[in-house]
Every structure is written in C-alpha cells, then in structure tokens.
Structure 1
C-alpha cells in the first residue's frame, strides 16, 4: 500500500509561537511515531540564529530526531546529500526569500530530491517562504514590494499567500493577482493556521488563534475574485481540539 503524499502549509510554528501547537500538529501527521525532522533554513541564507532556534525547540521534544541541512557552506557530496534527504520523515522549511530559496535549491539539486522524498512519503512543510515553495506560484516580497511569483516546485496545484491577515497589502495584492490571472486560484493563510494537503487535495485546516482562517481564493476569469473562509479545527494543548473556530 502506497503512503499518502503530504504537504503542510504553516502560518506559525517554533519561530513565531511559544505553545508548539502547529509543530505538534505537523509531527502528528508524520509516518513514524518519532520522526526524523530536517530543517532547511535556505530562504534565510542559513541564518545561524534561525537554525539555533529550531534546534533549541526540537531538541527539547522527545517525539522527534531533529537535524539541519545547510546549503551555504555545504559539506555533503551529491550521493550523501540524496541519502540524507531521503532518510527524513519530515522536511521543515523556514521563512525568508522565496525566489532565492528556489534558486539555491535548483543549483544544488535539492528541488529534485524533495520531489523524490515526497513521492516516498516524506511530509513536506514550512512557514512563509517555506509554505510558498510547494505550489505552482505564490505571493511574495522576495523582490521588495509585494508581487506575484509564478514559480514553485509545483507539488501543490495553484498558488499560496502567507501572512494574509498580518502584513499590510497582502490581502488586496493577492486577490488582485488571482483576479487578473497573474496567479492561479489558491490558498491564503492567516498567521496561526495550518493547511494539510494529501495527494494534492486539501484534507485538513487548523488554527491556534481564534478568528484566524485559511481561505480559498478563486478568480472568475473576468477580473473578479471570490474568497471563502474555511472552517478550522481549533488546536489546544492537551485536548487536541475544541471544534471549529467561529
């Protein structure tokens, strides 16, 4: 029996939240009870502080085996790099510059390795740029002003917009990009939410913040856009859920 192919988009996690609820949720979908979790801080240029924060958060957890893959100052040859990536149960991609992330991955062949890992059941996830990268396109500030980037790994159909409720200009700019066809229909995440895709289809939406949502954003081909807030299961420490947020 083949494993489900899973991608999780995160509007939070260890880098922004102290409660660990979204990280708990992600690890709960891994294929093993004590998964190997690899952090890719490529989008931040392998920022040491970001790496240290990940290791501090995940080494404190008894339910996983954390590691970090640095591509700036890479030490692994191609064979060792492939073996390392394919050995992971979860690949967790950090935020930063989406365009730079994709370029560096392609130079090192990591884009192909992530496709291979995904096909073998590795759960792929990430926040901000680490959410953008899995789709066909995304809404990004990689070039300074907010704009559309019709580029990504294409593991998920459509486009992604992070920080939908927290960064000025995100919502109208993404809606405009979808309305004009600059980006295909997609998914927008408020901070504090998560969206799980299984075999390319949305199967679960969660939130650690009351009132925060995941949205489906679709253009009509005539310059108009529709936006639908999806019900999110509420994440709470110890109880797992209390039902949908209003």
Structure 2
C-alpha cells in the first residue's frame, strides 16, 4: 500500500499513523458504492478488484484499479457526489470519512498537488469522452466540476486561453488565462477580483475553454497570485454561508 500514488505523498514515518484512519470494505460485483447526487461521505482507495464510473445512462465510462482513488472531490469541494460508482468485480477498498480525510490533507500539503493533477487528468479524460470537438478546448457543466476545481485545473496545466461560463444566475462570465495565471475576469458587471469571487459562488452553468489569446492580452499583468485569490474567494463563501453567531 505504501507504494500507491496517494501514500507516496506521506513520509514513511507517518504512514503507520495515517493508515489507522482507514478501514476496509468488501463490495460485491455490481454493488453501488457511491450514487450521483448523494451527499459526499467517504474517500476511497482501491486495494484490489475493479471499480466502474457510470454515466447517467448507467454505462461504465472509466475504470479504476488497484491504487486508484475516488470520492475525494465531493469532500474537497463539499458538493454532492458527481458520478455513480459501482463495483465492476468483487473488490477490496480502503476508506476514511470526511473528518479524517481533511486531517490528512492539512498535515500533508503535498496531497494538494496530487489531487490537483488528478483532477486535471480526469477533466481531460472526461472531456475526451463527452466531446467530439475536444481539440477546440474543454467543455462541461459546473454541476460536474465546480468553479474552484475548474480554475485549479486551468492553473495547474498552465493553460492559455479564454474560459466562458454561460447559463449562470447573473448571465455569462469570461476569464482569460495566460500560462495558468488569471489575467482577466468579468461577470455580473464586475471585473477582476470581484468578478472572480462572484463566479466561485455559482453552482450551475456551462463552460467552454477556448485556447489562445489576442496579442494585446499577452502583456496584461495577472490579477493576483492564483492560490491567494482562490483561498480568499473560498473563505468569503464560507463566511457568507456560516450560520449567524458563529
């Protein structure tokens, strides 16, 4: 287990302590492990067997094997489950709950990079499956990948181009990226940081990323250090949604 990609981000001296946060589950073939739309619950690592990710028609669109992980996005983004996960064979899974998962993330910062890269790869794979014109950019729905995860993907992959998000509560948003840096943002009459923070609050919409920028945009300074912007935006959301008196 220590050789699994997830545990390679945890130093050898801490491995024994971290593994105590996990339990083992033995789903049978065709058993539903996670169901789309349900609240997020556990983070899973496949020990043995095969796990299938299903589309809305119940057809497997990708498979996970020993060492692969799932369930992390609903815990990181505090969203409902984004896709149904089914045991493709009898299998063994390691799992831990949200509380212990967040404790592990806090203690091992290297896992943030691990999950960002994992998300970027999955978004790319998902778009290849869904879109025949993938070469023109990435397309998708915020219901499948929330804004903060989408922005992290573009940043981590050092993308250059324009992200357009339509069907939002206040119209259409546009963001420009240069090698992963956010250089423009406009939404609901606002621009820059203010627009970026408003976009982060959205839960539904359709996005398309178009590679390339007009020449005049290559010299525009970035709005700010990306991770600072993201953390500030998420903190503002938490403050707005926190119960009064807390």
TM > 0.5 = no
Question: Quick check: which one's helix share is greater?
Answer: 2
Greater Cα radius of gyration, structure 1 or 2: 2
**Higher relative contact order by CA 8 Å / sep ≥ 6: 1 or 2?**
1
